[in-house]
């Protein structure tokens, strides 16, 4: 699946044309808003079915529920860790950076490869430590990566889906190079070599039982949110080679007239038994699979799609359609890595086909998006290609989200395609779609015990009993319209429940009056009705705040060396300014009229790009002189970035500058600043 997609020489198009697989391959009563009170009664509930009242008109660009994730691949150190042998602190810093990226784009899940080659990213009694951590099979990395990753993801209320490869043993064929004590060294007959790799033999019942036990070890011991398989079951076909399992078929294949049907049944049993084991252990844990994008072509099977490419049903013995109809899965993520209009596998054909398959089932459909193909030519050299995919998805309500392969390609943002996608479709936070079939019920309504302004924004303190909370903000202090919470227009985000009181900080708050509402979410995202409103009056606490951008009248000055652009969708307002670095300041200045000499928080906004400057100097004119803070403008764009708090003098003057004096290459960007009295 995803793990080899960027490494093999064949492209997805070649797979289709040559027949070879590549891994790149009824409305509630209106609730009046009232000042916050710790003893205030809970507000009358909106419907807790997570559906908007029928009369509400929702914005398709800001869906309340949408699964947004990226694959983080470990095999070959594709994404994380970026190399073997990194220190514990380096590995952990890298993973936190991936979560930063997910947050930047309002993603709510990550799919992380923790068993890429019959090994483990946790201390397992079944299989050895992964070589992709240390470079040495079986070597202890010095900490528990899985425990760390789950904790860090949940700290940000990001779902953690543990990605397992069931049958791949090694990316070589030398059993002696496996870690000492590896199950295949102890049971060589469990594996076969094919196309320069080692695989567990799916036809041996003991193997199937073992790999399920090995994976369930992580499920039972760690607080993961999902189990995820990719498309590696039987290996993809290699020209001139046969899978060496004839003897296994003769031993275990009684009752099957063909070896192909027997192989499919072997994978069916893996999927069904894994599903049963997960639900018996932890009913809230989701089970999803990411298959190759084509099940069968309609020229072979009238139930298939109108495509002309490799058929996963026949080539790798994966009957994904059956798994959906049998209800063995909770979600499916077909890898639809072809553009709209592709002559052999049209995205606009495959998405409706998969939508029809899941229709009427409890299986949720997310689409696997090929971010790795950005920059490879044709439509993949345009900024709109992925945004166009998600725009088409809006016509198919069965599509509940997308997963992007892989994290490094999301970060690279070639041709600005990821920025465009995020701007068009991920502008607001979104809640993971609920799965009522997994059981449970919506929690009781929570209570907001306080909502006060601080130097960082507005701090909302919540009490309740829930897995997490969704926080909404509505302008003013009038009565709540039930439609206000029907989509994500007013959704600020979610926060993981923490002890007896949970705090959410609204860092985007201005100085006007706001009403805050909170709903409680179960582990499967069933949502309560809203709390009683907490009204925050204007200017309380932090008080004065001002935003100045490059088009604010009288608020910005720059020399003629600073160009103007509106290219990046991450910009603040209509445009931003850019300049080449030089060995001179030539600062562009943002001007503001500060009401008093006091402490102020300074935040900056800029569009990011890999080709922008990694050390852009921001100059803050404090009462003690100019202070320079350097910012890496290659990342964290499209949001407010905190420079810190500073003593600033009262008056109308230049407060924040962006200097060109930096030794690093890449444009320096000036876009907007926000100054808030603390």
Tens of pLDDT, residue by residue over 272-318, are: 999 999 999 999 999 999 999 999 999 999 999 999 999 999 999 99
Could you tell me which residues are beta bridge partners of residue 331?
288, 364
Hey, what domains does the chain have and what are their CATH numbers? Answer: 2-25+66-429 (3.20.20.80), 34-62+441-541 (2.60.40.10), 545-677 (2.60.120.260)
Strands (E) in 94-164, as ranges, are 109-115, 159-164
Percent of the chain with pLDDT over 70: 91
Percent of the chain with pLDDT over 90: 82
Segment 515-544 shows an average pLDDT of 87
Look up the pTM and report it: 0.78
> Among 333-347, 412-426, 440-454, 535-549, whose mean pLDDT is lowest?
535-549
Which tokens hold the place of 382? Answer: 């345009």
DSSP string, 343-357: SSS-HHHHHHHHHHH
Q: How far apart are CA 605 and CA 618, in angstroms?
A: 11
Q: Is 534 helix (H, G, I), strand (E, B) or coil?
A: strand
Q: Which has the higher per-residue pLDDT, 558 or 30?
A: 558
> What pLDDT is stored for residue 100 in this prediction?
94
Q: How far apart are CA 279 and CA 287, in angstroms?
A: 9
Q: How far apart are CA 548 and CA 554, in angstroms?
A: 10
Strands (E) in 507-587, as ranges, are 514-521, 534-536, 545-549, 556-557, 563-565, 576-579
Q: How far apart are CA 433 and CA 65, in angstroms?
A: 5
Residue 574: pLDDT above 60? Answer: yes
- Closest Cα to residue 590, out of 652, 648, 654? 654
Segment 336-348 shows an average pLDDT of 98
Confidence of residue 558 (pLDDT cuts 50, 70, 90): very high
> What pLDDT is stored for residue 54 in this prediction?
65
Residue 543: pLDDT above 60? Answer: no
In which element (H, E) is residue 287 found?
strand 286-289
> What pLDDT is stored for residue 678 in this prediction?
74
> What pLDDT is stored for residue 47 in this prediction?
35
Residue 49: pLDDT above 90? Answer: no
Cβ-contact 206, 132 below 8 angstroms: no
Could you tell me which residues are beta bridge partners of residue 474?
515
Mean of all residue pLDDT scores within the chain: 90
């Amino acid at each position: 699946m995803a793990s080899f997609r960027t490494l093999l020489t064949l492209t997805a198009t070649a797979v289709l044309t040559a027949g070879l697989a590549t891994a790149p391959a009824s409305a509630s009563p209106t609730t009046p808003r009232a000042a916050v009170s710790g003893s205030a009664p809970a507000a009358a509930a909106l419907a807790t079915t997570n559906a908007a009242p029928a009369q509400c008109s929702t914005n398709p660009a800001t869906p309340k529920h949408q699964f947004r994730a990226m694959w983080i691949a470990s095999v070959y150190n594709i994404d994380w860790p970026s190399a073997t042998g990194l220190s514990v602190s380096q590995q952990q810093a890298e993973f936190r950076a991936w979560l930063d990226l997910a947050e930047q784009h309002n993603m709510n899940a990550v799919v992380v490869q923790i068993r890429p080659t019959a090994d483990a990213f946790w201390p397992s009694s079944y299989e050895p430590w992964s070589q992709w951590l240390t470079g040495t099979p079986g070597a202890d990395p010095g900490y528990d990566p899985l425990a760390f990753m789950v904790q860090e993801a949940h700290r940000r209320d990001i779902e953690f889906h543990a990605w397992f490869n069931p049958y791949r043993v090694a990316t070589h064929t030398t059993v002696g190079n496996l870690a000492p004590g590896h199950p295949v060294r102890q049971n060589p007959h469990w594996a076969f070599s094919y196309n320069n790799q080692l695989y567990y033999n799916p036809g041996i019942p003991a193997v199937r039982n073992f790999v399920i036990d090995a994976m369930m070890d992580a499920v039972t011991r760690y607080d993961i949110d999902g189990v995820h398989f990719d498309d590696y079951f039987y290996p993809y076909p290699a020209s001139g080679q046969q899978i060496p399992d004839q003897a296994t078929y003769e031993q275990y294949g009684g009752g099957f007239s063909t070896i192909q049907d027997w192989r499919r049944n072997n994978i069916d049993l893996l999927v069904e038994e894994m599903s049963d084991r997960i639900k018996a252990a932890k009913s809230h844990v989701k089970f999803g699979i990411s298959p190759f994008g084509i099940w069968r072509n309609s020229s072979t099977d009238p139930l298939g799609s109108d495509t002309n490419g490799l058929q996963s049903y026949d080539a790798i013995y994966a009957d994904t359609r059956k798994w959906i109809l049998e209800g063995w899965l909770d979600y499916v993520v077909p890898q639809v890595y072809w553009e709209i209009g592709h002559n052999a596998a049209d995205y606009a054909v495959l998405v409706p086909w998969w939508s029809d398959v899941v229709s009427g089932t409890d299986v949720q459909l997310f689409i696997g998006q090929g971010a790795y193909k950005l920059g490879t030519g044709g439509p993949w050299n345009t900024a709109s290609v992925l945004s166009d995919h998600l725009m088409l998805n809006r016509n198919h309500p069965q599509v509940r989200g997308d997963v992007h392969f892989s994290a490094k390609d999301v970060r690279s943002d070639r041709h600005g395609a990821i920025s465009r996608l995020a701007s068009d479709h991920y502008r607001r936070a979104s809640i993971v779609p609920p799965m009522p079939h997994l059981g449970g019920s919506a929690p009781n309504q929570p209570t907001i015990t306080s909502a006060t302004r601080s130097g960082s924004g507005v701090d909302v303190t919540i009490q309740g009993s829930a897995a997490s909370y969704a926080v909404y903000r509505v302008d003013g202090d009038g009565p709540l319209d039930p439609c206000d919470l029907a989509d994500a227009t007013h959704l600020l985000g979610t926060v993981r429940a923490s002890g007896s009181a949970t705090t959410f900080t609204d860092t985007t708050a201005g100085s006007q009056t706001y009403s805050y509402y909170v709903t409680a979410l179960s582990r499967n995202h069933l949502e309560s009705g809203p709390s009683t409103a907490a009204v925050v009056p204007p200017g309380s606490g932090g008080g004065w705040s001002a935003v100045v951008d490059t088009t604010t009248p009288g608020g910005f000055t720059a020399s003629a060396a600073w160009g103007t652009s509106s290219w990046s969708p991450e910009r603040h307002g209509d445009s931003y300014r850019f300049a080449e670095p030089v060995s001179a300041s030539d600062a562009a200045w943002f001007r503001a009229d500060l009401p008093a000499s006091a402490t102020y928080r300074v935040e900056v906004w800029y569009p990011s790009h890999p080709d922008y400057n990694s050390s852009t100097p921001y100059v803050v004119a404090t009462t003690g002189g100019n202070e320079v803070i350097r910012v890496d403008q290659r990342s964290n764009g499209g949001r407010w970035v905190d420079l810190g708090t500073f003593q600033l003098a009262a008056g109308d003057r230049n407060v924040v500058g962006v200097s060109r004096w930096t030794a690093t290459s890449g444009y320096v960007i000036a876009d907007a600043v926000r100054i808030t009295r603390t």
